[in-house]
Amino acid sequence: MRAMRFRDRKDAGRRLGERLKALRIDGLQPAPDILVVLGLPRGGVPVAAEVATALGAPLDVILVRKLGVPFQPELAMGAVGEGGVRLLNRRVLAEVGVSEAAIQAVETHERAELERRARLYRGDGTPVDLAGRIAVIVDDGIATGSTARAACQVARALGADRVVLAVPVAPPGWTERLADVADELVCLSTPASFFAIGEFYDDFSQMSDEEVLDCLARAAPSEAEGSPPRAGSGQLDAEIAVPIDGLALPGQLTVPSGAVGVVVFAHGSGSSRHSPRNRYVAGTLNARGIGTLLIDLLTAREEKDRGHVFDIPLLADRLHASALWVRSSPPPAGELPIAFFGASTGAAAALVAAARAAGASGTAEPVAVVSRGGRPDLAGDSLAAVRAPTLLIVGSLDTAVLELNEEARSRMHCATRLEVVPGASHLFEEPGTLEQVAELAGDWFEQHFGVQATRDGARRDRG
């Protein structure tokens, strides 16, 4: 059979979705509310998003981690999944003789990574309930099938009544390897000559966490156009559009009941309001009674131009305009003080915007600024004009950026503090490091919201 080719994962997902529309379980078409589509991160999620759209079913990720033999990690002795699911391969364990203590050590490490990814992809959300439902597990292809096998087993352990494994492409004989863990196996193409999944895609570029979040957000049910923002127990949580420079920049405004202020996020290069790291920090701030505005300062077309991505004055203008939009909004948002949280190049934009607003009338000057792994040095001469108390957070492993932060701090005349997170790299991907960022940011904002910051331009808190 001639191998089928796909332009990209979306194209593969659309075609797979059409095939799955004809899905029959015991001769009946299942109701949409019985189906749930589960994508394997990262590459399987955009395929699954198209499948979910075709089936009119909810989309979620299914998170699994292989338990590798300690002295031979490529050999799987089991897997773990959400909900405390633990699967062990007794045959492998009998052959290699791994102790229960060693198994527990590996599981502890892998479960920490599993939980980190769950926080990145879901924030404070919970997984879709699989109990009594048909779980359609989707990946961008099958190679060895070990991850897909674990995903099917985890879905079953989480209560799925029936498990369907669906992929665009797989090698010959794949069904024999996986028939024992799935009730139905669906594949568009099984070419006789198979070396790697990517050879059947024109575009098989690596997916980022931000792209996964974007797929999940697009698949989430949206409110009807023109409907009022969602509110519950005094909390405002709304998808908004901020009119700036003739554009409508999309954002997510969340204001908890009794909020003490609103933090406007300035994302780094190549990121967006769906950034898993910023979403995690925002969720932590919301839990502490701090409002947040996650907004795209560039349009999708502008993001393709790297010149725009590093155009700090443009980003600063739009960040300030976003803050003014919040300030002019009806209560509760419009009544609250404002602060900035900047990541990477977004930190420079936050500082430039803060400097421009300093002391000027009709502006939205922030009461505080936090930089995460930021590039404050890119703010240039604006650093000396910043009056908002500024917290700089850098990972200890991010040595080049740490030096740039130290140099930029020496040029600032406002209250500043530099916090170095041990064992953290630039993106704070190491277990527990992003939690420290959120905690530090929350403490800083709580300290300065509702408190008139010192404006003498000379005091510097080096604590």
377 or 298, which is more confident: 377
Predicted confidence at residue 24, as pLDDT, reads 46
Work out the pLDDT band at 238, boundaries 50, 70, 90.
confident
The two structure tokens encoding residue 136: 């359609």
pLDDT, one tens digit per residue, over 193-208 is: 888 899 999 999 988 8
pLDDT > 90 fraction of the chain, expressed in percent and rounded:
45
What is the model's pTM?
0.55
On the question of a common fold for 9-219 and 230-448, the answer reads: yes
Quick one: CATH architecture of 230-448? 3-Layer(aba) Sandwich (3.40)
Q: What is the mean pLDDT of residues 320-332?
A: 91
Tell me which residue has tokens 């966490």.
209
Return the closest-CA partner of residue 348 out of 365, 366, 372: 372
- List, edge to edge, every strand of the sheet that includes 369-372: 230-232, 235-244, 247-255, 291-295, 262-266, 338-343, 369-372, 390-395, 416-421
- What CATH number does domain 9-219 carry, 3.40.50.300, 3.40.50.720, 3.40.50.2020, 3.30.70.150? 3.40.50.2020
- Considering Cα of 225, then 10, then 22, then 174, what sign does the dihedral take? negative
Question: Rounded CA gap, 374 and 171, in Å?
Answer: 45
* DSSP annotation string for 404-415: HHHHHHTT--S-
SS3 79: strand
pLDDT, one tens digit per residue, over 58-117 is: 999 999 988 888 888 778 788 888 878 888 888 888 888 888 899 999 999 988 888 888
Q: Where are the domains of the chain?
A: 9-219, 230-448
Residue 226 has pLDDT above 50, yes or no: no
Beta carbons of 126 and 83 less than 8 angstroms apart:
no
Q: What is the mean pLDDT of residues 342-353?
A: 94
pLDDT, one tens digit per residue, over 13-53 is: 999 998 887 654 444 455 556 889 999 998 999 999 999 98
Question: Rounded CA gap, 339 and 370, in Å?
Answer: 8
CB neighbourhood size of 273 (10 A):
23
Beta carbons of 262 and 295 less than 8 angstroms apart:
no
Work out the pLDDT band at 213, boundaries 50, 70, 90.
confident
Q: What is the mean pLDDT of residues 416-427?
A: 94
